[in-house]
Amino acid sequence: MSGTLQAILFDCDGVLAETERDGHRIAYNKAFEAKGLDIRWDALIYSDLVRISGGKERMRHYFEQNSGHLAEDHFNEALIQELYQIKTEYFKDILRRGILPCREGISRIIAQAHSDSTLLFVCSTSHKESVETLIASNMGQEYLGYFTDLLCGDIVPHKKPAADIYLLAKEKYGLNPKKCVVIEDSRNGLLAAKGAGMNCLVTPSFYTQNEDFSEADAIISTLGDDTTPAKLIRVPTAWKNISRIGAKDLNRIISKPT
């Protein structure tokens, strides 16, 4: 039926949880320390690096811009890969300790969508094991079974803002992009979603709150819960006075006039 939501596609970092500042950043620093590197990414340094999609890409960029931190013969792909694996293990440990909870309304909307037989995806540059750990630790192991697929890591040639990851979901599962809603927190993610012809709801995160989201179909502070209502920044008219965005509300995005 033409106004029925077919799929919700979530970014991970900054969307499912506020993972960047007190999760990934801390894990990178622990990995640098474990390898004896005199490098520490503070919150300000990381605010620039977070605009680069992909952890290995962030490290490559940083080392290229700060070559004095490494002897030239040590700057190679093997080191990048090793640091990334060490960092991933530290990050999963942070997640298992439960100190990076899901953002407001995330568990609720996933459960609602699953109950409605809406397809669910995570489309992220994050390591798949990290995404699985985040979901299982914060929502429960059963939530992993709610997702049709977790499309993560280096599975497409180009990362966001390229549309590759969303085009992969579309082609692999026969999705109608006009009946899909992507939930993103960054301009890179928004551009990727729109490049795939999909609708995009933006919930800005700590590092992305001042980015340009002018192409978004809706912008809200969070999905909202009982203690933290959603702040409606730019939304469909039918969402007026809604404090918690549910799976069925997303139909108002795909049913908007063209």
Catalytically active residues, by annotation: 11, 13
3-state helix, strand, coil in the chain (%, to 5): 45, 10, 40
C-beta of residue 40 within 8 angstroms of C-beta of residue 27: no
Using a 10 angstrom Cβ sphere, with 0-12 exposed, 13-18 middle and 19 or more buried, the burial of residue 158 is exposed
List CB contacts of 53: < 8 A, sequence separation 6 or more.
125, 159, 160, 161, 188
CA atoms within 13 A on the CB side of 36: 2
Using a 10 angstrom Cβ sphere, with 0-12 exposed, 13-18 middle and 19 or more buried, the burial of residue 165 is buried
C-beta of residue 55 within 8 angstroms of C-beta of residue 125: yes
Eight-class DSSP state of 238: G
Residue from 4, 2, 18 nearest 181 by CA = 4
Rounded Cα distance between 121 and 7, Å, is 8
Rounded Cα distance between 50 and 187, Å, is 12
Eight-class DSSP state of 237: G
